Amino acid sequence: MAYKPQYYAGNTIVAQNRRNHMSNNVQKVREISDEDLTACLGHRAPGSDYPSTHPPLAEMGEPDCPIRQIVTPTAGTAAGDRVRYVQWADSMYNAPAVPYWRSYHAAMNHRGVDPGTLSGRQVVEARERDMEAVAKEQMETDMTCPGLAGLRGATVHGHSCRLQEDGVMFDMIDRRRLEGDVIIQDKDQVGVPLDRKVNLGKPMTTEEANKKTTFYRVGNVAYRDDPEAIEWCQKVWELRTLYGYQPK
């Protein structure tokens, strides 16, 4: 019998959304060009070559190693790319992704990544072209709403603030905003002005966000509404805290 991994307990829509992110069962809902992605990230000029920190692995003549025979290098590693980052802030008001879930998504579905999570931000470091693959996937799918999430390499504050009157998450340095019915971005993730406006697509409606969110919160799906998730969270806590994952 084929084994189907169970990534997260729970019987609510929030629990299912968390499973979707962890297993990469996400839907592409918008198109972001490579040039627009590069501009928003701000690490190099759109259309330019990837800077490198060492020659391609095929040219380095590394010593024989069984691990190198087993593990295929990522595209960025093979090319010698430098390490760069993508960092997100997600509104706590029912944004599709919780910061930890961006980390889980990257770590479970991409190789060579180094995710990190704080209360209101999430960063993935990797070889540059590998990082861009993660960023593009997250930007183009339903795990991101451009009105409730944004690329923020600096000045990440605002995730816990009330939404603006137009329903967009506050950004202290105004990297993105609602124009007409779409979100545009005209500064890169650290706030450097771009030479054009990048169209990030339409934000989710409140109803759509409520159905797509991975946040448990009163006013939508409260954590107490998901007994199975609470039961397994308690069980894991007990196994880790009382028994060191070694119950006798």
* Residue 3 domain-assigned (yes or no): no
In a domain, 233, yes or no: yes
- 27-38, pLDDT tens digit by residue? 999 999 999 999
- Other beta carbons within 10 Å of 233: 14
Under the banding of pLDDT at 50, 70 and 90, the label for residue 213 is very high
Whether 5 maps to a domain, the answer reads no
- Per-residue pLDDT, averaged over 89-115, amounts to 95
pLDDT at 2: 77
* Matching residue, tokens 């701000």: 42
Q: What are the angstrom distances between the C-alpha of 131 and each of 24, 45, 76, 86?
A: 16, 16, 9, 7
138 inside domain = yes
The identity of residue 110, as a single letter, is H
The CATH number that applies at residue 28 is 3.90.320.20
CA torsion 123-95-91-204 (nearest 10°) is 120
Residue 197 placed within a domain: yes
Which whole-number Å values give the CA distances from 148 to 46, 92, 113, 177, 216, in the listed order? Answer: 26, 8, 24, 11, 16
Q: Tell me the mean pLDDT in the region 172-187.
A: 97
Share of the chain above pLDDT 90, in %: 85
Is 20 within 8 Å of 26 (Cβ atoms)?
yes
pLDDT digits (tens, 9 = 90+) for 216-228: 999 899 999 999 9
Give the number of domains in the chain: 1
pTM of the model: 0.91
**Does 83 fall in a domain?**
yes
> Predicted confidence band at 248 (pLDDT cuts at 50, 70, 90)?
low
pLDDT digits (tens, 9 = 90+) for 48-71: 999 999 999 999 988 889 998 899
Please report the pLDDT score of residue 1 as a whole number. 60
Domain span including residue 33? 13-244
- Domain contains 8: no
208 found inside a domain: yes
